[in-house]
Amino acid sequence: MSIERRGLLKSIAGAGALALAPRITNADEQVARATRGTPPPRIRDISVIECQPDGVRLTVVKITTDQPGLYGYGCATFTQRADLVKPAVEKYLRPFLLNKTTDRIEDIWQSCYDSSYWKNGPVLNNALSGIDQALWDIKGRQAGMPVYQLAGGKCREAVDCYAHASGPDFQDVVDIAKKYMEQGFRKVRVQVGVPGMAAYGSAHKDGDRLKSLHDGPLFEPAYAMRRSLKLLEICRRELGDEVELLHDMHERFTPNQAVQFCKEAEQYRMFFLEDPLSPEDLGYFRQIRRNCATPIAMGELFNSPYEWQPLIAEQLIDYIRVHVSQVGGFSPARKIAILAEQFGVKTAWHGPGDVSPVGHMANVTLDLVSYNFGIQEYSPFNDRTQAIFQGCPQMKDGYLWVNEKPGWGIEIDEKEAAKSPFTAGPLNGGWGEVRLRDGTVIKQ
Ligand code: GCO
Ligand code: MG
């Protein structure tokens, strides 16, 4: 640079030009300048809200920030071991996160995930989900937008759902399914009780109990399979061709029975059969695929990427239906949806009663933003639940409509929540056992 030019610049600076355009000396300062005036919120407190408004234990994490009125909620519901999630949040994640900024959701997810060294278990994943979803809620509230906007916006107007029709007898199931169809549902899950047996998904009559070597809850898969297949035949005949039928096998059969079940059900043109195998038997999905074209949904028991990755990558299932808080929250579920889209697999997030309304909003958000959305399981919210969780998504004609308020759009009335505390059940929310005739305990 010439001496004259240097002199000219010096004289401009000396004339006060620097005051108008301060010199940026390094990249850090540049970033600081970009965010000056709006420092990211910092985590001031993390607490756990527990309640049981509809028979199942719900757990929600609340993150409070140092900015007045800015907080967020995340679902951390693991109803069978609910008491363990609270200390996982309060004793481990809270001290790890206090005073960190809320703006780096992925970074926080990865660092929390790693901080236990051992990972991918249901308790820690639910605790992590509570944090993850609360941070998304905060980001949405900051932006003044529902989370679906932060994730790219809607792919559809509302979320197509299936309802549960179940009863002890075939006719009960048909009648309930017809009621749902009259309400506008186009897809119905059907489950029937097996007399004298503790089958999944429906009450049963105390009919002729099979002779067995114990007096406790009894299940024999071959009987249950014949009854379920009969139900599918009756439902297809009585409900017509237009309705989509779904059925939850709930991992209750031997691998070979599961293959037979899926093959036999092909003639009833299912929307899907759900969880035909337990996560321990994933290798058998290849046999189901080789034998029939019944669509398969799988995954509500999954916690680890090693469970869903091979099923998606090998296109062994048609719908991935993990329980979003069990895989660690909204952030990892979004990645699963995107991975699945690449392989032509659709989503069907687990949506039972043991998901809090905050978790249902996370499901509905994923449903809206994912091109490969398949179907959403629907569980109604009772009055107590709606008194505690204000802003639940709304059901109309078989479609769930998202709450359009910022974040998840849900406000929790903690005083109302305290009026529905966890009740002291005999197993503290844990499940009892179901056994074969000879006394062998089975997966439920
Ligand atoms: C479903 C599920 C539930 C689970 C329950 C366990 O498909 O809705 O199978 O009914 O059994 O969420 O707590
Ligand atoms: Mg299920």
Element (H, E) at 166: strand 159-167
347-387 pLDDT, tens digit per residue, is 999 999 999 999 999 999 999 999 999 999 999 999 999 99
**Domain boundary, last residue among 147, 182, 216:** 147
Tell me how many domains the chain contains: 2
Domain ends where: 147, 177, 196? 147
Closest ligand 1 atom to residue 79 Cα is: 13
Q: What is the pLDDT of residue 326?
A: 98
* Residue 105 covered by a domain: yes
In this structure, the residue with its CA closest to atom 3 of ligand 1 is: 352
Residue nearest (by alpha carbon) to ligand 1 atom 8: 352
Task: Tell me what percent of the residues of the chain surpass a pLDDT of 70.
Answer: 92
Task: Categorize the per-residue pLDDT at 24 as very low, low, confident or very high, splitting at 50, 70 and 90.
Answer: very low
Q: What does the alpha-carbon distance between residue 394 and residue 402 come to, in Å, rounded to a whole number? A: 7
Give this prediction's pTM: 0.91
Q: What is the pLDDT of residues 26-76, one digit of tens each?
A: 544 544 444 455 799 999 999 999 999 999 999 999 999 999 999 999 999
Same domain, 90 and 138: yes
| pLDDT surpassing 50 at residue 4 | no
Dist CA 217 CA 124 (whole Å): 31
Burial of 169 (0-12, 13-18, 19+ CB in 10 A): middle
The C-alpha atoms of residue 167 and residue 164 are separated, in whole angstroms, by: 10
Same domain, 349 and 386: yes
- Among protein residues, the one with the nearest Cα to ligand 1's atom 9 is 250
The answer on pLDDT for 162 being more than 80 is yes
Q: Summarize the confidence of residues 135-147 as an average pLDDT.
A: 98
274 Cα to the center of ligand 2, angstroms: 6
Query: How far apart, in whole angstroms, are the C-alpha atoms of residue 85 and residue 340?
Result: 29
Mean pLDDT of 189-209: 90
The answer to whether position 428 is within a domain reads no
Residue 312 has, within 13 A of its CA and on its CB side, a CA count of 25
Q: Do residue 158 and residue 143 come from a single domain? A: no
The tokens of 376 are what? Answer: 């959403």
Mutate to test the pocket of ligand 1, among 248, 273, 321, 379 (most ligand atoms within 8 A of CB): 248
Active site residues: 200, 250
Which residue, 132, 147, 162, sits at the end of a domain? 147
**CATH code of 108's domain:** 3.30.390.10
State the closest ligand 1 atom to the C-alpha of 164, by its place in the atom list counted from 1. Answer: 8
Ligand 1 binding pocket mutation candidate from 350, 428, 434, 444 (most atoms within 8 A of CB): 350
Q: Report the separation in Å between the CA atom of 157 and the middle of ligand 1, taken as the mean of its atom positions.
A: 27
* Residue 313 CA, ligand 2 centroid: distance in Å: 22
Predicted confidence band at 149 (pLDDT cuts at 50, 70, 90)? very high
Q: What's the pLDDT at 26?
A: 52
Check whether residue 83 and residue 55 sit in a common domain.
Answer: yes
Q: In the prediction, which pLDDT does 17 show? A: 39
Whether 253 and 168 map to the same domain: the answer is yes
Per-residue pLDDT at 15 exceeds 80: no
* Mean pLDDT, rounded, of the chain: 93
How far apart are alpha carbons 40 and 292 in whole angstroms? 54
Q: Whose CA is nearest to atom 10 of ligand 1?
A: 352
Q: In terms of domains, do 224 and 237 share one?
A: yes
Closest residue by Cα to atom 4, ligand 1, is 352
pLDDT at 217 (0 to 100): 95
CA of 300 to the centre of ligand 1 (A): 8
Residue 17 lies in a domain: no
From the CA of 323, give the closest atom in ligand 1.
12
| 11 CB neighbour count, 10 Å cutoff | 10
Distance 4 CA to ligand 1 centre (A): 79
CA-CA distance, 2 to 266, in Å (whole number)?
84
Residue 214 scores a pLDDT above 70: yes
**Residue 11: is its pLDDT beyond 70?**
no
Task: Indicate if 225 and 373 belong to the same structural domain.
Answer: yes
Domain that holds residue 303: 150-408
219 and 201 inside one domain: yes
Find the mean pLDDT for residues 137-164. Answer: 98
**Among 3-17, 50-64, 272-286, 418-432, which stretch is predicted with the lowest mean pLDDT?**
3-17
| Residue 351 alpha carbon, nearest atom of ligand 1 | 8
Distance CA 224, CA 241 (A): 24
Same domain, 218 and 75: no
| Nearest alpha carbon, ligand 1 atom 12 | 352
By most ligand atoms within 8 Å of CB, the mutation choice from 56, 250, 376 for ligand 1 is 250
For residue 425, name the pLDDT band (cuts at 50, 70, 90): confident
Q: Which two tokens stand for residue 248?
A: 């939850």
Residue 170, number of CB atoms within 10 A of its CB: 18
pLDDT of amino acid 20? 44
* Model pLDDT for residues 277-322, shown as the tens digit of each residue: 999 999 999 999 999 999 999 999 999 999 999 999 999 999 999 9
At 393, list the tokens: 């998504």
- Over residues 81-133, the pLDDT tens digits come to 999 999 999 999 999 999 999 999 999 999 999 999 999 999 999 999 999 99
Q: Do both 330 and 383 map to the same domain?
A: yes
What CATH number corresponds to the domain at position 357? 3.20.20.120
- Tell me how far the alpha carbon of residue 250 lies from the centroid of ligand 1, in angstroms: 8
Phi–psi pair at 436, nearest 5 degrees: -70, 170
Atom of ligand 1 nearest to the CA of 321: 7
End-to-end CA distance of the chain: 79
Pocket lining for ligand 1, CB < 6 angstroms: 79, 248, 250, 300, 352, 354, 377
